[in-house]
Structure 1
Amino acid sequence: MQLLAVGLNHTTAPVSLREQLAFAPDQVGHAVQAARSWFARHAPDQSAASEAAILSTCNRTEIYCAHALANPVDAAAHFLADYHKLQHSQLRPHLYALPQDGAVRHAFRVASGLDSMVLGEPQILGQMKDAVRQADAAGGLGAYLHQMFQRTFAVAKEVRTTTEIGAHSVSMAAAAVRLAQRIFDSISEQHVLFIGAGEMIELCATHFAAQNPKSLTIANRTLERGETLAHRLGGQAIRLAQLPEQLAQFDIVISCTASSLPIIGLGLVERALKARRRKPVFMVDLAVPRDIEPEVARLNDVFLYTVDDLGAVVQTGLEHRQAAVAQAEAIIETRVQSFMHWLDDRALVPVIRGLHEQSEAIRLHELERARRLLAKGEDVDSVLEALSRGLSAKFLHGPQQALHQAQGEERARLAGLLPQLFRTRRR
């Protein structure tokens, strides 16, 4: 059996494609079963049971499998395309395929938050655990994936407890959350508005959603796109045109659009503050050019931060981040090698089992022969002598035959190896 991870994420595919490849939570169990059936149909030995697990989040869709496929990457890519009714040619350029230790290393890095949009973010570990539970319930886990994921979770725990990978602001989104927490006692008591529905807003919204705000709203020119993102995050969507009437409802406003002109002007914010009775507003403008008129920062009850302001916050954790990443990567590499050693040992199990079965058959055959001789009244010492000679001859027959049939370098290799195989410890 071989391990493989195939998928795409925020670094290899746009959100428009990631959305098409995403699995809804209630689809995952069925998809795992479908993947196993697909792999079975494409395996040279259709009796070999494939294992499969699917991880699907807003930033990635990945399938992990243990297989006996002749062309596993192609099979996995075609399965994903077929299941979502996409063209394989449309999907394949965005996929990464990681076999064996690459799959293990990738799983370890994902669970540890090293492959996330937000470096060190903890949500992905919970999402991966949910994916494994669903795969297990669907019958997708066997000895290989079960062992890999158990070690994955152990590595993630080790990375998070022995490094500071998640202790510092490492992205604009994380920095925005940190700044908001300085102004409000608890984000869980605030109403949050996100203007736009692009990748940066998706990242920020994911980060703020983890803080369980009182409400989360996406305002976008295209309502359908805003609703798609809001649905994934448990929020609601409004049209951008509704901002003048609704801006006063929100305590936190994060904006990032591609508009060439400001969307939120000084007058609009002044009217919102009046309606709020001077209750403070935290605003973050991540757009370049800016979405919020810079004059808004002069208002007493507005805390406005630009992308440059957040960049300064991110930089404060740079040194700690680099040290933590290096330490985490070292831990992961050590644990990958340990797992691959287990995998190599696992591959020997059928060989060892076969040797035991063969030796047991020889033993039983010689034992039955000895019992027949004893039943005939043969001398006990003679029977035991014949038993021991028979066992020795049969155990040595195979190695001697292999040595006689071998030639050249193979014979020399066997000649050096056989004494080691038959070496016994003296007492």
Structure 2
Amino acid sequence: MSVDVLTFGLNYVSAPVAVRERVTFPMDVLRPALEGLRSAFGKSVSEAAILSTCNRTEIYCAAEPHVAERLPEWMADFNRLKSSELVPHLYRYQQNGAVRHAFRVASGLDSMVLGEPQILGQMKDAVKAAEEAGALGTLLHQLFQRTFSVAKEVRSQTAIGAQSVSMAAAAVRLAERVFGNLGDSKVLFIGAGEMIELCATHFAAASPKSMCVANRSLDRAETLANRFSAQTMKLSDLPDHIDQYDVIVSCTASSLPILGLGMVERAIRTRKHRPMVMVDLAVPRDIEPEVSRLSDVYLYSVDDLGRVVQQGTDARKAAVVQAEAIIDTQVQNFMHWLYNREIVPTLVDVQRNADQLRQLELDRARRMLARGDSPEEVMEWLAHSLTQKYLHGPMAELNRSEGPQREQLLDMLPRLLPDSHRRR
């Protein structure tokens, strides 16, 4: 059975946030998704892992080549979409293309924020989830271990991560475009995950008037709030309090919007139409996109922030060439390992047959010695017999061949047969 490395998915380049938010695999869904994937394809998919972030959803698998044609339909069905809604936004890589893609993703070369480090941790989480689901085998395990090693090499040997312009920094920049100095602004963070922590760090550096963390779990909210002398709030209290905040940054794992058009409209009326900046870093979105219709609300999605981020990447682009060179070398190394792995069963068979032949001829030589034949004659016979049997296959194949096939065999034989001059 031929097994390929396949990568299949969509990202911030191939699909807008309106599509990406409909194709997500939260951590609690990864295990059943992996089980469903392997169940749907049977032995055709031997290994699989799913990477799902706000900027990309990708499936990595060790599978028979034909699986690549059916994966779009499976992904659409799992996310309750029509294939026609999904297919135009998908990309697919096989073999060395898939390996190169994995290396580039982990190294931050395929990120909205060039060189950003978060994706490496997200990929490690995806691998851990696949391991726990029993969906990872030798091939993908080796691929991801090399992926992490390449990412480390790229970050240590190049300046790809220097002067990083993060999504969190872009959020502060957008808020400052509206309010200028944030010293009189009140900031509300919805969620308490890694992205909100990064945003809180950047906003704290801008010295706003106050900050508050709203989260489903107050314990997590308080842990984060204590770091920045911020207040806390339950998510259920949001409708009564969002009018108090000038900047709202949201990033949760909710499958449905947390802030709707009606709630924000009431808040704007209460604020007497003072402007409000809302930054939605979640996929699926936490804030209904219709909120952008309100004239006093400046709503920014993760794609909007990406455009701000891209403006600050020029300083790091020079490092991309160096990083790509590292990746090219490591892709070749991995593919060499993969191809060698594929021929191992053949090599084992060749070695086993050679050992059996050697043993048969050795047993005959011992019987000849036992009946009193001259040791020198037995050694001469053994050497001749082994040589003839060793050469029989190649010589017979050469005699049967003709034309281009014979030329190819003649070219290969000197490399396959031992050179007595090199052994001296």
Distance 1:251-1:376 versus aligned 2 partners, 3 A rule: farther
Distance 1:159-1:426 versus aligned 2 partners, 3 A rule: closer
Structure 2 length-normalised TM: 0.70
- Give distance in 2, aligned partners of 1:179 and 1:101: 40
2:12 alignment partner AA:
H
- Cα deviation for residue 129 of structure 1 reads 0.3
**Cross-structure match for 1:142:** 137
- Give distance in 1, aligned partners of 2:297 and 2:34: 49
Indicate conservation of the 8 Å contact 1:8/1:61, yes or no: yes
Distance 1:252-1:288 versus aligned 2 partners, 3 A rule: closer
2:271 alignment partner AA:
L
Query: Within 5 A, what are the aligned runs for 1:264-283?
Result: 268=271
- Give distance in 2, aligned partners of 1:8 and 1:113: 16
Query: 1:54 pairs with 50, 57, 80, which one?
Result: 50
Indicate conservation of the 8 Å contact 1:5/1:65, yes or no: yes
- Give distance in 1, aligned partners of 2:60 and 2:362: 48
**Deviation string, structure 1 residues 81-123 (Cα, Å, up to 9, x no partner):** 3434443343322221111111111111211222223333222
Distance 1:366-1:3 versus aligned 2 partners, 3 A rule: same
Q: Helix, strand or coil for the counterpart of 2:119?
A: helix
1:34 and 2:36 are equivalent in the alignment: yes
- Cα deviation for residue 177 of structure 1 reads 4.2
Moved more, 396-405 or 91-100: 91-100
Q: Helix, strand or coil for the counterpart of 1:4?
A: strand
**Deviation string, structure 1 residues 229-259 (Cα, Å, up to 9, x no partner):** xxxxxx976799x47x4332x474459x9x9
Distance 1:352-1:110 versus aligned 2 partners, 3 A rule: same
- Give distance in 1, aligned partners of 2:80 and 2:374: 78
- Give distance in 2, aligned partners of 1:359 and 1:381: 24
1:3 and 2:5 are equivalent in the alignment: yes
- Give distance in 2, aligned partners of 1:74 and 1:40: 15
**Cross-structure match for 1:66:** 62
Query: Within 5 A, what are the aligned runs for 1:7-406?
Result: 7-41=9-43, 43=44, 50-69=46-65, 71-168=66-163, 170=165, 173-177=168-172, 192-193=188-189, 207-211=195-199, 215-216=213-214, 242=239, 245-248=241-244, 250=245, 252-253=247-248, 268=271, 291-292=295-296, 317-406=312-401
Distance 1:121-1:290 versus aligned 2 partners, 3 A rule: farther
- Cα deviation for residue 143 of structure 1 reads 2.5
Q: Helix, strand or coil for the counterpart of 1:54?
A: strand
Same amino acid, percent of matched pairs: 47
- Give distance in 2, aligned partners of 1:283 and 1:20: 25
2:213 alignment partner AA:
S
Indicate conservation of the 8 Å contact 2:103/2:327, yes or no: yes
Moved more, 18-27 or 355-364: 18-27
**Cross-structure match for 2:222:** none
2:149 alignment partner AA:
A
- Cα deviation for residue 126 of structure 1 reads 0.9
- Cα deviation for residue 355 of structure 1 reads 2.0
- Give distance in 2, aligned partners of 1:77 and 1:312: 28
Indicate conservation of the 8 Å contact 2:268/2:274, yes or no: no
Query: 1:413 pairs with 408, 412, 424, which one?
Result: 408
- Cα deviation for residue 16 of structure 1 reads 4.3
2:367 alignment partner AA:
R
- Give distance in 2, aligned partners of 1:271 and 1:149: 50
Structure 1 length-normalised TM: 0.70
**Cross-structure match for 1:426:** 423
Distance 1:384-1:38 versus aligned 2 partners, 3 A rule: farther
- Give distance in 1, aligned partners of 2:35 and 2:165: 38
- Cα deviation for residue 144 of structure 1 reads 1.9
- Root mean square deviation, CA, Å: 4.3
Indicate conservation of the 8 Å contact 2:11/2:56, yes or no: yes
Q: Helix, strand or coil for the counterpart of 1:394?
A: helix
- Cα deviation for residue 80 of structure 1 reads 2.1
Q: Helix, strand or coil for the counterpart of 2:139?
A: helix
Distance 1:312-1:128 versus aligned 2 partners, 3 A rule: closer
Indicate conservation of the 8 Å contact 2:168/2:199, yes or no: no
- Cα deviation for residue 345 of structure 1 reads 2.9
**Cross-structure match for 1:276:** none
**Cross-structure match for 2:284:** none
Moved more, 349-358 or 316-325: 316-325
- Give distance in 2, aligned partners of 1:152 and 1:390: 49
1:112 alignment partner AA:
S
**Deviation string, structure 1 residues 373-417 (Cα, Å, up to 9, x no partner):** 333333332222222222111111100011001001211221222
Count of residue pairs the alignment pairs up: 362
Q: Helix, strand or coil for the counterpart of 1:144?
A: helix
1:156 alignment partner AA:
A
Distance 1:409-1:271 versus aligned 2 partners, 3 A rule: closer
Q: Helix, strand or coil for the counterpart of 2:48?
A: strand
Indicate conservation of the 8 Å contact 2:100/2:331, yes or no: yes
Indicate conservation of the 8 Å contact 1:39/1:50, yes or no: no
2:26 alignment partner AA:
A
Distance 1:139-1:373 versus aligned 2 partners, 3 A rule: farther
Distance 1:292-1:351 versus aligned 2 partners, 3 A rule: same
Q: Helix, strand or coil for the counterpart of 1:348?
A: helix
Indicate conservation of the 8 Å contact 1:12/1:94, yes or no: yes
**Cross-structure match for 2:288:** none
Indicate conservation of the 8 Å contact 1:169/1:178, yes or no: no
Moved more, 282-291 or 357-366: 282-291
